[in-house]
Chain A
Amino acid sequence: MEEAVVVFYAGPFAITSIVITTWGIMLFLGVFCWLATRQLSLDPGPVQTMLEGIILLIEESIEAVSPGYAQQMMPFIGTLWIYIVIANLVGIVPELHSPTGNLSVTAGLAILVFLSVHWFGIRNEGVRYLKHYLSPSPILLPFHLISEVTRTIALAVRLFGNIMSLELVALLVLFVAGLLVPVPVLMLHIVEALVQAYIFGMLALIYVAGAMQSQQNEKGASL
C-alpha cells in the first residue's frame, strides 16, 4: 500500500493526495448536485428520478431502523453512504487511490460517528441520554466505555482494512498475472465498495438510532 503523498503544506497542515482526492470528490458531488437540482420539476427527468430514488432509498432505510427520525438523520447518514461509496469507487480510477483506504480518513469518519452518536442522543434525550451507560448496572459503565471505543475503532479499521486490501490485491494480481487479469478483482472492488459503504452507514445508523432511543429501550427493559 502506497503512502499518502504530501502535495503541499497549508500552514501546519500537510495536504496529502488523499485530502486532494477528498476535495475532488466534494467538488464533484457539489457541482453535480448543484447542476442536477437547479431545475427540479414535478415531472422528473432521468437524473432527477435517479436522485429521488437514492434519497427515498436512504430515507426508507433510516425510517426502517429509526422511525420518525429520517429527516433529522438523513444529512449525516446519507452523506456517509454517498461519500463512502464514491470514495471506495475512486480507487478503480487509475492513478487515484480510495481515501477510505487510508486509516486517517476512516478514523476521522469513525470519530464523527462516535461524536454524532452522543450529539443525537443528547439532542433528543437530553442529559438523561448518559444514564444508559449506567444501565442495567453502574458496574457495567467501564464495559460501555470500552464498547464505545472498540466499536469506533472497529468501524475505522474494518473499512480501512477492506478497501486497502482490495487495492493491494488488485495491485498484486496486476504485478503477478498481467494487464487484464485484475479486472474480476476490480469488479469485486465495486461490489465490496458498495457493501462496505452500506455496512459502515448502517452501523452508524444503528449506533445513532440506539443512542436516540436509549431511554425508550431502558423503559422497555424495566417493564
Chain B
Amino acid sequence: MNFDWATFILEIINFLVLIWILKHFLYQPILDIIARRRAGIEKTLADAHQTKAEADKLKQQHEKFLAEWEKEKEDAQVRLMAELAAMRENKLAELNAKINEEAERRKVLDERAKREFERRMEEQGIAQGIAFTTKLFSRLASPQLEAGLYALLLEDLHGLSKENKRVITEATAVPELQIKVQSAFPLDENKQNELTHHLSDVAGRMLPIEFQVNPDLIAGFQIVIGSWILHANLRDELKFFSGSLQHATAGSQ
C-alpha cells in the first residue's frame, strides 16, 4: 500500500490524455453520428408531416372537387331533365301538329276522293243516261221525228236575231262558199228548195248548197256555213245536253 508520487502524477496525466483521446475518437464521433441520425429522423418526420399536410390539403381539395363535381353533376342532371322535358314537349307538340296536319290532309284527300267518286258516279250516270237516251232516240228516230225537227229548224232560222243574221252574212262573204247540209234521212225536193230559200234569206244571197245524208245525226240536221255550224239534230243536242250536265256537275263541286 505504498504511495508512489510518480505513479500518482503520471496517472493524472494519463487520465487527462485518455479524456482527450476518448473525446476525439469516441464521444465526439458517436455524438455527431447520433446527432446526424436525430437530424435525419427529425427531417424525415418534418418531411412526413409536410407530406401529410400536403396530402391532407390535396385530400381537402379532392373532396372539394368531388363536392363541386357532384353539385355540377346534379345541376347538369336537372338541366338535362328540363331540356329533355322541353324537348319531349316540343316533340309531342310537333307530333300532334303533324298528326293534326295528316288528319287534315287525310280529311281533304277523303273529301277530294269522295268528290271525285261522286263526280265519276255522276259522269258515269250522265254517260249512262246519255247512252240510254241516245239508244232510245235511235230507236225512236223516224222521218216523222225529222219532220218535226225540220219544222223546229225553220222556226229557229226565222227566229234568229238581227245580230246573228249580220254575223252569218259576214261569214258568208267568202267567195266560192258552199253551204253543207247533212240530214239523218234524205230530204225530198220540196224541203230542199224550202231550206235553200230560208238559208239564202239568212245569208243574204244565193249560195250553192250540198245536201248529204248522215245517219249518225239520229234525227235532224247539221248545217255548215263557213265557220258557222247550225245544229238541229238529236246527236248534237244530246252532246250539248251531256256537256251542260257535266258542266253543271263540275260547277256544283
Give the B-binding residues of A (Cβ under 8 A). Answer: 1, 3-4, 12-16, 18-19, 22-23, 25-26, 29-30, 33-34, 36-37, 40-42, 44, 48, 51-52, 55-56, 59, 71, 74-76, 78-79, 82-83, 99, 102-105, 107-109, 111-112, 164
Contact = CB atoms under 8 A, between A and B. Distances in A.
Contacts of A51: 26, 30
A63 B31 CA distance: 14
8 contacts: A15-B6, A30-B21, A37-B25, A42-B36, A44-B33, A55-B26, A71-B31, A79-B19
A83 B8 contact: no
A29 B18 contact: yes
Contacts of B1: 1, 103, 164
A203 to B, nearest CB: 16
A108 B9 contact: yes
A75 B17 contact: no
A55 B10 contact: no
Interface residues of B, number: 33
Contact of A107 (B3, B26, B36, B40): B3
B14 A40 contact: no
A55 B34 contact: yes
Interface in B25-51: 25-27, 29-34, 36-37, 40
Nearest to B6: A13
Contacts of B25: 30, 33-34, 37
A51 B22 CA distance: 12
B14 A26 contact: yes
Interface of B: 1-12, 14-19, 21-23, 25-27, 29-34, 36-37, 40
Interface secondary structure of A, over-half rule: helix
Contacts of B11: 18-19, 22, 99, 104-105, 108-109
Contact of B7 (A18, A74, A82): A18
B33 A40 contact: yes
A48 B9 CA distance: 34
B12 A16 contact: no
A140 B17 CA distance: 37
